[in-house]
A and B are shown apart, each in its own frame.
Chain A
Amino acid sequence: MADANESSTSRRSWALFLLVTALSASGLGAIMNSEKSEARAIFLPGPTSSGHYQIELDCAGCHTASFSSTEDLDGACVHCHGAELTASKDSHPKSKFTDPRNASRIAELDARSCLTCHVEHAPGRTTEMGLSLPRDYCFRCHQEIGQERPSHQGLAFDSCASSGCHNYHDNRGIYEDFLVKHAGEPEVLSAPLAQRIDAKPCPSEERARLGSGGGDASCADCHAPQAQTFASGKHGMRAARGLKRMSPALARLPMKASAAGHELACASCHQRPEDPLFASVTACEGCHNDEHTRAYRDSKHFERAERAARGEMAAKGAVTCATCHMPSGEDESGVMFTSHNQNDNLRPPEKMLRSVCLSCHGLAFSLDAIADSELVRKNFDGRPGAHVLSVDWAMERIQ
């Protein structure tokens, strides 16, 4: 009799255990598969990098067909960053490493996969540019550089990617012949070439439509490349993935507490077309509260922007926040537009050389300026305290 009772209790315990397990599993599954639920945060195995933290709850954005296959994760990287890599004339494309002759190098560093260098959810070992590998990785394939370039003898391999020297992917502004071509340029060029596109006021009927709730979608009807680049940058990437819009409260950079709850949309910055400095300066200052932003109004760049706004000099000579962080470029059909992905040309900072700095400054001066982190903090109010040797070394090789 006692045995029968024990057996019945045991069966009930098992049934209860199975029921709880099944309910828990289906509950977790529902959270996992629910559309961008904030509750998904419990599944994060660790904080994501500064490039991805805004969209980390869009799990399926990276974990696509299979959850953890390298091939699928790489595919997700390329889906978002492929066009940028192509435009950057990627110095180390995957196709270089699928060549069997590089098999011995692959054994050292599998450069066929993005994940070899960029692992997510690993904050303890992730540094600038989302790199999760020790910074001396160039050593794996370029041990002989000291013999090929006497100037490089004795240099530490963790200094290769120092500002103004080399980048793994994008070397468009620092390749050797480019350094030679721009050597000897003065600090300030005689004829600044900055190209700004003056924002044209929306036609009245469009403004009426915006006022009636058309919002960002209405803007995108006429400003497709601007909307597309906005969706790729840190201001618009959350909304583009169906997540709650970005707001300063969600930012990792210092923001003004007074702006914390503000949600970012086109009209956040584009609200006073009559003020030439609103969308390009004032709106930025409304949220951003870091030293670089706060120092802007003391800089010569702002002096020029103010003079241009007063009509005392040509608008193309003005240097606003947008001049540097939202440079103009061409869309697929060659039409000029202002990029609204304000992170793009900071990745890496040397990307800014060609799209921005060299419009007004010589290359050597620009390299020194962006290599001086203190000067960057002061928003370039002063002279570079650093000197990048790359132009000097490039010139030595041709003399």
Chain B
Amino acid sequence: MKNFRSILFILLAVSPLSCQKEAAPAPEGAAPPAAAGISPQRFADALHAVMESDRVVYTKNVVNRLQNKENIIKASEHWEDEKTLPLPAQMFRMGAEMVAKKEAGFTYSLLSLWPLNKQNKPSTDLEKKGLEFVAANKGANFYGEEELGGQKYFTAVYADVAVAEACVKCHNEHKDAPRTDFQIGDVMGGVVVRIPL
């Protein structure tokens, strides 16, 4: 009986009877293939300009002001449970995850050579090389290409600089801190933007 069921299952799985719906046609107005009007580097630079600006605004004008200057509300990792503000790094990552869900044609992440969460250390050779480069060459960006999972990517790495007291205080005092001597203006990590080629 079991064999009979298995055979029936296989027959039905490959039979036209099992196709209950036809494949949907391509939606009208779908984006045309990428035009050659903008280079991956320029695209990545533009994306990073937005990311960096939002990140600095949130860190300085929201977290640092409300937590460190005006003592109104704290920012903490478990912000929902503790009724606090999300940490700037969490704010950045929540945006990155939402973009990832939208499959927007690029991905980005916030990484460091000295991460509090070890999952945020470099995981590819190019990430490591890029993070080391931006840490050693202040003000310079790093660009390269890499192949991951059979797909080629243009990968850009931008320095992530400590812009407020909130950044260095939290990272220097955290129980998982691998480095405790950060000062405002130091490169603490990097933003990695990837665009499939």
State the A residues within 8 Å of B (CB): 25, 28-29, 32-33, 42-45, 60, 63-68, 89, 93-96, 98-107, 144, 148, 175, 177-178, 397-398
Supposing A33-B20, A93-B97 touch, asked if A100 and B5 sit within 8 A by C-beta, the answer is no
CB distance from B89 to the nearest CB of A (A): 15
Supposing A43-B12, A177-B78 touch, asked if A25 and B6 sit within 8 A by C-beta, the answer is no
Instruction: Indicate which residue in A32, A63, A178 contacts B17 across the interface (CB closer than 8 Å).
Output: A32
Asked if B77 and A60 sit within 8 Å, CB to CB, the answer is no
Supposing A42-B8, A101-B192, A107-B149 touch, asked if A95 and B101 sit within 8 A by C-beta, the answer is yes
Q: Which residues of A contact B77 (CB under 8 A)?
A: 177
Asked if B5 and A43 sit within 8 Å, CB to CB, the answer is yes
Instruction: Indicate which residue in B81, B103, B118 contacts A178 across the interface (CB closer than 8 Å).
Output: B81
Asked if A99 and B100 sit within 8 Å, CB to CB, the answer is yes
Asked if A29 and B17 sit within 8 Å, CB to CB, the answer is yes
Supposing A101-B194, A178-B81 touch, asked if A398 and B149 sit within 8 A by C-beta, the answer is no
How far is it, in angstroms, between the C-alpha of A33 and the C-alpha of B6 when the chains are bound? 18
Instruction: Indicate which residue in A25, A63, A106 contacts B149 across the interface (CB closer than 8 Å).
Output: A106
Of A45, A60, A98, A175, most B-chain CB atoms within 10 Å: A45
Tell me the nearest residue of chain B to A180, going by C-beta: B175
Instruction: Indicate which residue in A32, A43, A100, A107 contacts B153 across the interface (CB closer than 8 Å).
Output: A100
Q: Which residues of A contact B43 (CB under 8 A)?
A: none
Instruction: Indicate which residue in B5, B9, B97, B153 contacts A96 across the interface (CB closer than 8 Å).
Output: B97
Asked if B12 and A32 sit within 8 Å, CB to CB, the answer is yes
Asked if B149 and A103 sit within 8 Å, CB to CB, the answer is yes
Instruction: Indicate which residue in A60, A64, A68, A100 contacts B107 across the interface (CB closer than 8 Å).
Output: A100
Asked if B100 and A101 sit within 8 Å, CB to CB, the answer is no
| B123 interfacial by beta-carbon distance below 8 Å | yes
B58-88 interface with A by 8 A CB criterion: 77-78, 80-81
Q: Which 7 A-B pairs have the closest CB atoms?
A: A103-B149, A103-B148, A95-B100, A45-B9, A67-B18, A29-B17, A100-B148
| B13 interfacial by beta-carbon distance below 8 Å | yes
Asked if A45 and B123 sit within 8 Å, CB to CB, the answer is no
CB distance from A122 to the nearest CB of B (A): 13
Asked if B118 and A175 sit within 8 Å, CB to CB, the answer is no
How far is it, in angstroms, between the C-alpha of A107 and the C-alpha of B107 when the chains are bound? 19
How far is it, in angstroms, between the C-alpha of A102 and the C-alpha of B123 when the chains are bound? 8
CB distance from A139 to the nearest CB of B (A): 15
Asked if B109 and A101 sit within 8 Å, CB to CB, the answer is yes
How far is it, in angstroms, between the C-alpha of A63 and the C-alpha of B149 when the chains are bound? 28
Q: Which residues of B contact A107 (CB under 8 A)?
A: 149
CB distance from A26 to the nearest CB of B (A): 9
Asked if A60 and B20 sit within 8 Å, CB to CB, the answer is yes
Asked if A101 and B21 sit within 8 Å, CB to CB, the answer is no
CB distance from B192 to the nearest CB of A (A): 7
| B19 interfacial by beta-carbon distance below 8 Å | yes
Q: Which residues of B contact A103 (CB under 8 A)?
A: 148-149, 151
Besides A95-B101, A101-B124, 13 other A-B contacts (C-beta < 8 A): A43-B5, A44-B5, A67-B19, A89-B80, A95-B100, A96-B97, A100-B148, A100-B149, A100-B153, A103-B151, A104-B124, A104-B148, A397-B175
| B160 interfacial by beta-carbon distance below 8 Å | no
Instruction: Indicate which residue in B18, B175, B194 contacts A100 across the interface (CB closer than 8 Å).
Output: B194
Instruction: Indicate which residue in B6, B23, B98, B127 contacts A101 across the interface (CB closer than 8 Å).
Output: B127
Q: Which residues of A contact B24 (CB under 8 A)?
A: 65
Tell me the nearest residue of chain A to B99, going by C-beta: A95
How far is it, in angstroms, between the C-alpha of A95 and the C-alpha of B194 when the chains are bound? 15
CB distance from A197 to the nearest CB of B (A): 23
Q: Which residues of A contact B124 (CB under 8 A)?
A: 101, 104
Q: Which residues of A contact B78 (CB under 8 A)?
A: 175, 177-178
How far is it, in angstroms, between the C-alpha of A333 and the C-alpha of B80 when the chains are bound? 18
Asked if B118 and A148 sit within 8 Å, CB to CB, the answer is yes
Instruction: Indicate which residue in B18, B80, B103 contacts A98 across the interface (CB closer than 8 Å).
Output: B103
> Would you list 18 pairs from A and B whose C-beta atoms are within 8 A, ordered by A residue?
A28-B17, A42-B8, A43-B9, A45-B5, A63-B18, A65-B21, A66-B21, A67-B13, A89-B80, A95-B98, A96-B97, A98-B100, A98-B107, A99-B109, A101-B123, A103-B148, A105-B123, A107-B149
How far is it, in angstroms, between the C-alpha of A28 and the C-alpha of B127 when the chains are bound? 55
